[in-house]
Structure 1
Amino acid sequence: MTNNVIHDVILIVDDDPVIRMLMRRALNPSMTHILEASSGEEAIELFSLHCPDLILLDVSMDNMDGFECCSVIRKMPEGENVAIIMVTALDQPEDIKKAFDVGATDFMTKPVKWPLLNHRIHYVLKANKTIKELTKSKNRLARAQSIAHLGSWEWDFKNQTLDCSDEVYRMIGMQPQERELNFANLIEIIHPDDREFLTHTLKNALKNKESYDIEYRILNGNGDIITLHDRTDITDDFGGQRLNGTLHDISSRKKSEQEIAYYAYFDTLTDLPNRRKFLVQLDSAIALAKRHGTKLALLFIDLDHFKRINDTLGHKAGDELLCEAARRIKTSIRATDEMSSGNTHVDFDNEHIARLGGDEFTLLLTELNTFDSVAIIAQRIIDELCKPYFIMGKQTYISASVGISFYPDDGLTGDILLQHADTAMYEVKNNGKNGYQLFSHDMHKTLMDRLQLEAELREAITLGDQLKLHYQPQVSSTNDNVVGYEALLRWNHPTKGMLSPFDFMAMAESSGLIIQIGEWALIEACKKAKKIHVADSNFTRMAVNLSALQFNHANIVDHVKNALLLTSLPAHLLELEITESAIISNVEDAIALLFKLKELGVQLAIDDFGTGYSSLNYLKNFPIDTLKIDKSFIDGIVHNQKDAAIARTIVQLALNLGLGTIAEGVEHVEQYELLKEMGCNDLQGYLYGKPVSLERF
């Protein structure tokens, strides 16, 4: 007998097949049924057929974009119930606002944090299911109430007493007909906050003989707060007017509405406001600051190394750590406020702290007279978050990067302040993490330039004629023959000229574009290697660099195999250069992957050897053919005994392990002679030639 497991149905909508593939692989295949659509029109058709639980919807698509698709789906049957996360490379405030205006549940910006995607979707699905169940419960309750017996009462405007049904007595916690009821003793059980409102309503009814339809709360005999819906009408009976009323206990409905509102505006894990609630709070704080002429600060807090917790201890441990981090942020603010001189005001109802999603938190500091105390608070948060955590019986550590923006100095709207605080936070990330950074407009310009460069690189990939490979020769130290070449990427930018990987590689990796570029480069290098192999009998290798992202990509083996098949290049003529950091990040998986690549017949080299974190204990297990000695050691090899000793050690290590060696950055004859004397196999550098284009090869 098998168990029928109900899977969540997720629809991925993106016109880029690579993005769809990455999203599919990032999701948990055992818990979800995944559908894919390459256009908005196809997404609408699949939605009508399968009614998915969640849609990952790309904004930028041809014909029908994500905004229009989201708007159409929301108007379809069951369209209001599906969770829609819009995925966009656009991070302008107007784009984010537009996403929510057309009905998005949430949004994510590209590049997507793939390790956190499954975790984030889990909680969106969880919240959306809860809202669905609460909505169903609310509808069932409404139908039951329409046929339920309602408490009734009458008042003839002359007597003090009310003529009440038994149900009215039961609602207010009294035995039926226990005593005569009048407005005076009913007022006594009305909730203190509602007494003035009800008294005013009754006086108006008495004076103007007008009916009313109101809600108010009472304190019943058990001390419980009951919410009543009191609806009245005036009738004429036997020549006299009467006020007829019905009382309905709507406490359950109110509770359901409050719970629905909670899930819409609060994070269910940490009990903090979510992004939607925080943006409302931020706009209100800005309006108040504008009226009073005060200032406020927005802190964007991102946990460092959180992915490591999820990967090593699991998502349950990650959830526990997030809750503890939220508690520490609140604690550190209280501690700072108690020590402050009164320049900073903080409310402690959690309204000013929010979890935006994943490992991102925000903090709003209001009514600032000076900015001095903001740095104190930021540092205290960082110090608090750096303390050890005891999660699931294990001690672990994280740190935090904090970006800070100020109103009105850094922006006049909530969207701009949040964007600028986020920009400042990423500056901390780029500078080593574990610190805080105030926003500056120069920083913003740098980010905008980077986004512009990313857009131009995407266009370069699409056009296909701007990316080039240059080739640098590798020479045998024994006979000076050219035995191989390294393929080096260049970008012939339409306005900036020829760019080296130093100018754009970091951006290509962070955006994920390196996967597409790397696949193209493999094929192009293999094509060239095939031609050289036919013409040159000394040719033994074409070296191609693999970035860390490429090496760890799920399809890297298929990419290499495909390049070899398309070009008919003998596999032993292709050498893949992999950095130490890419291998050492997950040694066991790296070893398995290296053996899979080795099974294809290619050569494998560790690039920039000695600059990373390789352990000799692991190195003996790697199926590596070659160690490349980094240029930083070669530069001082002639005059610096330590550099010479390191180079000599690497060459001897390779010799003992049966590996080849290539020295990079050889520019002088003295370097050549010393490396040849050490026994280094091959040499590469300006002494033998700069990298040249295919046309000048």
Structure 2
Amino acid sequence: MSLNTLQDVVLIVDDDPVIRVLMRRAINHSVGNIIEASSGEEAIQLFSEHSPDLILLDVSMDKMNGFECCSVIRSLPEGDNVAIIMVTALDQPQDIQKAFDVGATDFMTKPVKWPLLSHRIHYVLKANKTIKELTKSKNKLARAQSIAHLGSWEWDFISNKLDCSDEVYRMLGMQPQEVDITFSKMLEIIHPDDREFLKLTVKTALKHRKAYDIEYRVLHDSGEVITLHDRTDITYDFGEPRINGTLHDISSRKKSEQEIAYYAFYDTLTDLPNRRKFLLQLDSAIALAKRHSTKLALLFIDLDHFKRINDTLGHKTGDELLCETATRIKSSVRISDELSVGSRVEYENEHLARLGGDEFTLLLCELEAFDNVAIIAQRVLDALSKPFVIQGQQTFISASIGISFYPDDGETGDILLQHADTAMYEVKHNGKNSYQLFSHEMHKSLMDRLKIEADLREAIRLGDQFVLYYQPQIDSENDHIVGYEALLRWNHPTRGLLAPIDFLAIAESSGLIIPIGEWALYEACSKAKQIHIADANFQRMAVNLSALQFNHANILDHVKSALTETGLPPNLLELEITESAIISNVDEAIALLFKLKELGVKLAIDDFGTGYSSLNYLKSFPIDTLKIDKSFIDEIVNNQKDAAIARTIVQLALNLELSTIAEGVEYIEQHDLLKAMGCTNLQGYLYSKPLPPEMV
């Protein structure tokens, strides 16, 4: 029998055919589909075939009575969704209780009042539909919360029990609804380091009726630690306050953030801080020394003849040698009774860094005597002069060390590092395997810097020495050129064509980058307009904004002016901004980024993964593109950690619906791997070197 599934289906179950006829007549005008069963066994069969919306079930039947039949139906799939009205001449309280115990929705006694039966059924069907919709909505919400690792809870301030969703139980390492969750129970599984923080937060919320938005860790019995984001609101039901909250499992996000932060700030080979981490430490140490009127020393350590060892014995041997070098340097600077350098052993070790290649830096703080630095420098030289046994083979190296002091040799990290580097090269020129203090006889390098700054000012005045080169950006799917990055060059009157590395740092520190950057922005937009007219596939012209440019008061006007004067559609301009420029003042940076987005331009984070890479900040920024730094691309094919970094960044971008550009692609193997990862665009010498404007 085929039933119209759009109409309600009612199953009448009674072993008396007369009763079935009377019931059918009584409800026929209000119910579309009616089916009948003369026994409990037949009723179970018909229920499995037709899934009725309501069952009129007689209690007193032969073989299987109505109680047994009701119990079986409730145990079947979809058995919880049907309304069951039990009909019987039994009217004792224990009979009615038994009906509800086996799952009856309602109970009717015989003789049946036939005129009222139709109304009764209509009411029960309507109520059951409402329950079904609520159950459906609840299940949808539960599934969505499970997928999103998001749960909800409520606390009415008066009772001790928290009303929690199933997903909250799972986050806390429990089976759904297995026990009542109280605040005391909750505190037992909170990570000990976060317990007092949560107690104080909740106490404040209860006292001041103040919502909170916090993160804390939960420690499961298995030892697993997960991080939860707990966001709340205060509501009032009938005048009574309640805390309503959501718990979000952000463990994966935290892990990704920690991994990116580690790879951004630490050298994966030696586990030492990298250049960026060290420069931050150096700036902090200088600020502390300035505040306390103390001195510090910076040692620049470069291994002698390391390239020869790498080329002769292979990179694996070279890597092991670098790791052992780091260990020996650490041992050389441990505090001893006769030295007063720093206050803690771990404080000193945190200030040893690998800048890259075979270069290390060592920062010694809170100096009481400069002689101590010479003692430590000699210790390092002695430690490194001892033979290294790598892969069963004895190897010898030495080191050249340059030393600069704060404040005597400079008051900024850049100057101190530059002077220590200069002193180290003096050692190299004088035979290596020694140390050298920076002296004012080495001041020539500073004079050269001042000469470059003066030449920059003259170049800006003349206005005809700067030129932009353009490096193509490739669509990874079809290798078509879809954009260009504008790269600054300087046609120096005596030194020839200079790359940014030769003058950009000086332009930045002197503030000359502002007029240079304004010119470059206009020039790039003008070129982009020409390309747009000739090439329908053209999608972007990427222009770098230095930290000083980005934080300049007139940057918004500069961008508006360049777009207006050149007529370039704003969506074809992509501004590349470094993380350090944004993080320096987050609130102002976010406001500026949104204003730039209102102009219609695209925004990219340049060198992503080498700066702060805070996911918490990233979700707040209106960014279109993440640009993966070349340092992660160079060894991506052979270095699993570099590949992991790139894959993490690409996946992060995909999750946030951002595009990605990998810079520094030089080999087809890099191209293939990045394409497989899902990286959107590629840039590098594999496709083209930066081109002069006439070739674009």
TM-score (norm 2): 0.42
